[in-house]
Structure 1
Amino acid sequence: MEHHDRVDHIQQQWRRERPAIDVSPQAVIGRLHRLADHLREELIAGYRQYGLGEGEFDVLATLRRAGDPYQLAPGELAAHTMVTTGAISKRLDRLEAAGLVWRGASDRDGRGRIVGLTDAGRTLIDTAFEAHMRNEHRLLAPLTPAQRTQLADLLKQWLHALGRS
């Protein structure tokens, strides 16, 4: 039994109104857009359980996966989180006020700045990350392991072809 969704309906309307235009990309792009919106909502809800926004989670996770001593320069954080240094600064202000990160002078260069996880920040991100992974497994549960691997490979190829790898 074939399932029809909102994207099928939209394509049907466009085919009726503009039959000379190939609307087949909507089958992928439209569904990816809808899926991305849904996934983002689900992920943000998970971060909120730990008092974090998406950006704060991203900064804490980036510091944590950097490995011991869980420190990076603000510019490195910006590069790894793909946001501007100004956006990083705002996130760091909030995280520092919450006692989750600290900022100080770099040991390598007294003029440089460094950001590190506090013990409270490390504990929080470790707990939040475990919950985040459970949430991602839940969201992927409708797909078989083989489908997940195939989808991951296709998305990687597509991102690479678009210069976003």
Structure 2
Amino acid sequence: MSTRRHVQRIHDDWRRVRPDLDPTPMRRLILLNLTARLALDQIERTQQTHGLNLAQADLLLTLYRSAPDQGLTPGELTNLIAITPASITNRLDRLEHDNLIARTPDPHDARARRVRLTPEGRARVEALLPDHLGNEERMLAGLTDAEHADLERLLLKLAGHLEDLTP
């Protein structure tokens, strides 16, 4: 079933079961969630061709774009990743096992560790980047430049509003 038909079916079912309620807000958030899942599936497929899952690729890309030479602390990394930070220690363990990252003592704090890309990790990111960006361009190709700007503006506005609602 297409996303359009799926979302319309949910809307129609709610109108049938509870005609006194307007299910439009629910329909819009379901559509947003379904779209995000479809996008993440597309992104993960590309990352899997490079031997990475979504969380691993996000950590490596974050280190590549944001880490100074000495690396980032796990807390700094957690604040910069695009996905949820659940089980970051396990993710780092796996990447370290695969020799894609290294954890070294922080020169300013003996209790802290720094996470940085290894040469193998940097090479993996550099191999991934053209495919990753090409995939994302392909995914967004169904929108015009004006629609891209509108989408970004509206998503930022909605995200800001949702952040304001968070206690």
Output the TM-score relative to the length of structure 2: 0.87
Q: Is the 1:70–1:117 contact (alpha carbons within 8 Å) kept by the matching residues of 2?
A: no
SS in structure 2 of the partner of residue 71 of structure 1 = coil
Q: Is the 2:10–2:27 contact (alpha carbons within 8 Å) kept by the matching residues of 1?
A: no
1:39 pairs with 2:39? yes
Q: Is the 1:7–1:31 contact (alpha carbons within 8 Å) kept by the matching residues of 2?
A: yes
Shift of 1:68: 4.2
Q: Is the 1:63–1:70 contact (alpha carbons within 8 Å) kept by the matching residues of 2?
A: no
1:10 pairs with 2:10? yes
RMSD, aligned CA: 1.9
Shift of 1:129: 2.2
Partner of 2:27: 27
1:26-48 per-residue CA deviation (whole Å, 9 max, x = no partner) reads 33112112111211111111111
- How many matched pairs? 160
Output the TM-score relative to the length of structure 1: 0.88
Partner of 1:137: 137
4+ aligned runs moved over 4 Å, structure 1:
none
Shift of 1:117: 0.6
Shift of 1:74: 1.3
Shift of 1:64: 0.6
AA at the equivalent of 1:111? R
Q: Is the 1:64–1:70 contact (alpha carbons within 8 Å) kept by the matching residues of 2?
A: no
Partner of 2:59: 59
Identity within the alignment, %: 33
1:49-77 per-residue CA deviation (whole Å, 9 max, x = no partner) reads 11111111111111111154161011111
1:111 pairs with 2:132? no
AA at the equivalent of 1:125? V
Please give the alpha-carbon distance, in whole angstroms, between the structure 2 residues aligned to 1:140 and 1:104.
39
1:63-115 per-residue CA deviation (whole Å, 9 max, x = no partner) reads 1111541610111112222415xx12111111111111111111223332111
Unmatched runs of 5 consecutive residues or more in structure 1 = none
CA gap of 1:75–1:60, structure 2 versus 1, over 3 A, is: same
1:113-142 per-residue CA deviation (whole Å, 9 max, x = no partner) reads 111111110111122122111111111111
Unmatched runs of 5 consecutive residues or more in structure 2 = none
AA at the equivalent of 2:134? R
AA at the equivalent of 2:106? S
AA at the equivalent of 1:34? L
AA at the equivalent of 1:78? T
SS in structure 1 of the partner of residue 33 of structure 2 = helix
CA gap of 1:111–1:12, structure 2 versus 1, over 3 A, is: closer
